[in-house]
Amino acid sequence: MAIENKIVVSGIRSTGKLHLGNYFGAMQNYVKMQDDYPCYFFVADYHSLTTHPDPKDLRASVYRVLSENIAAGLDPEKVTLYAQSDIPEIPELYLMLNMLAYKGELEKVPTFKDKVRQNPNNVNAGLLTYPVLMAADILIHRASLVPVGKDQEQHLEMARNFAQRFNSRYGELFPEPQPFNFGDALVKVMSLDGSGGKMSKSENENATIYLADDDDSIRKKVMKAKTDSGPIEANSLMPEYIASLFSLMRLVSAPATVAAFEEHFNQCTIRYGDMKKQLAEDMIEFVRPIREKAKALELDAPLLQSILKRGAEQARAHAAFTISEARKLIGINYY
């Protein structure tokens, strides 16, 4: 049963292999929401163009995101699953919203500033207006709930601003979308390098656990995670890199296992080698079924194509209403 008919939208960029951050920040929530809400989930392939991927790689990247989401439990019969580039109403709304987005506010977005720092030779306009395209993705379905990780909080705030600006200038059309997570707070899955940064598709592959990783790579990556010789005083404060390991353990291990290692830490009897071995095995058990299912799905092009086609038809039909209302409100209504 739909809860108050709130519409759900979320997307994942087709920029590489999905990882535990994507799973626990976003995909896990998609799967939980699919029975209760009308859901629109998509592969953000236009967003991936900001970094100019090789055209030869695009199809495989899109198939991968799709396969890994279905392998993680998303049911294409229950949700509308599509590629962003199949919905021309999205770039149309993006153009309209661009007129309400200011250069100054876009330049202040932390993710934009990071990208400029990382890649000063590719500061394209698509990168600057990334949050406007994201707002169009969401508002095109008049969504209220957006399951995302903590790193997307600011982008959601901008989507709310653009919705408000449109509504107050032209008339009420868009609800204000809120970020959503089933727990109390949005999730940030930490990188294994102990730096305090988040796991991410492109940064430091050795500190990221991908859903496609085989058992041995997972073991190797976890065993390399930074530790030290252990606490010397009972109940001492955890260094950040140890706290990160515990936060990862909370995601994949049984609560009793986590509690046992916490107790060992507090009593100064912890052996980090044992903890990492346990963490690696629990991650392996978690990743294996998703990896195996995704591998099979990725090879089934006819199935993926039929899912994308049907998703595109459903999403376009839904988007068409929003665009025709937006055009009317703006005054584009000539004959």
CB of 179 to ligand TRP, least distance (A): 9
Q: Count CB-CB contacts under 10 A for residue 214.
A: 12
Q: In this structure, what token pair is assigned to residue 150?
A: 């903590």
With CB under 6 A as the contact rule, the residue among 7, 11, 33, 213 that binds ligand TRP is: 11
258 near ligand TRP (CB under 6 A):
no
Task: Record the tokens describing residue 47, joined without a space.
Answer: 């967003």
134 binds, among ligand TRP, ligand ADP, none (CB under 5 to 8 A by kind): ligand TRP
Q: From ligand TRP, ligand ADP, none, which one binds at residue 48 (CB under 5 to 8 Å depending on kind)?
A: none
| DSSP type of residue 198 | B
Considering 78, 188, 201, 277, which one is annotated as catalytic?
A: 201
Closest CB 261 distance from ligand ADP, rounded Å:
22
Per-residue string for binding with ligand TRP, 131-150, x by CB under 6 A? ---x--xx-------x-x--
Does residue 115 have an active-site annotation? yes
Contact letters (x/-) for ligand TRP, 154-173, by CB under 6 A? -x------------------
Query: Is residue 200 a contact residue for ligand ADP (CB under 6 A)?
Result: yes
| Nearest CB to ligand TRP, comparing residues 158 and 225 | 158
Q: Token pair 């052996």 is at which residue?
A: 271
Q: Is 47 in the site for ligand TRP (CB under 6 A)?
A: yes
Q: Are 142 and 173 within 8 A, CB to CB?
A: yes
- φ/ψ region of 129 (left if φ > 0, alpha if ψ in -120 to 50, else beta) reads alpha
Is there a contact between 128 and 101 (Cβ–Cβ < 8 Å)? no
Q: Tell me, yes or no, if 201 is annotated catalytic.
A: yes
Alpha helical stretches, state H, the chain:
20-22, 28-33, 45-48, 55-71, 89-98, 103-107, 110-118, 125-128, 130-139, 153-170, 215-223, 240-252, 255-266, 272-298, 301-330
Per CB under 6 A, 13 contacts ligand ADP:
yes
Distance from C-alpha of 275 to C-alpha of 270, rounded to nearest angstrom: 8
The b/e string for 231-252 (b: 16+ C-beta within 10 A; e otherwise) is beeeeeeeeebbebbbebbebb
Binder of residue 276, out of ligand TRP, ligand ADP, none (CB less than 5 to 8 A by kind): none
Q: Does 127 bind ligand TRP (CB under 6 A)?
A: no
The entry of ligand ADP, ligand TRP, none near residue 215 (CB within 5 to 8 angstroms by kind) is none
Catalytic-residue membership of 198:
yes
Determine the Cα–Cα distance for residues 210 and 16; give it in Å rounded to an integer: 10
Q: Which residues bind ligand ADP (CB under 6 A)?
A: 12-13, 15, 21-22, 25-26, 148-149, 151-152, 187-189, 198-201
The set of catalytic residues is 115, 198, 201
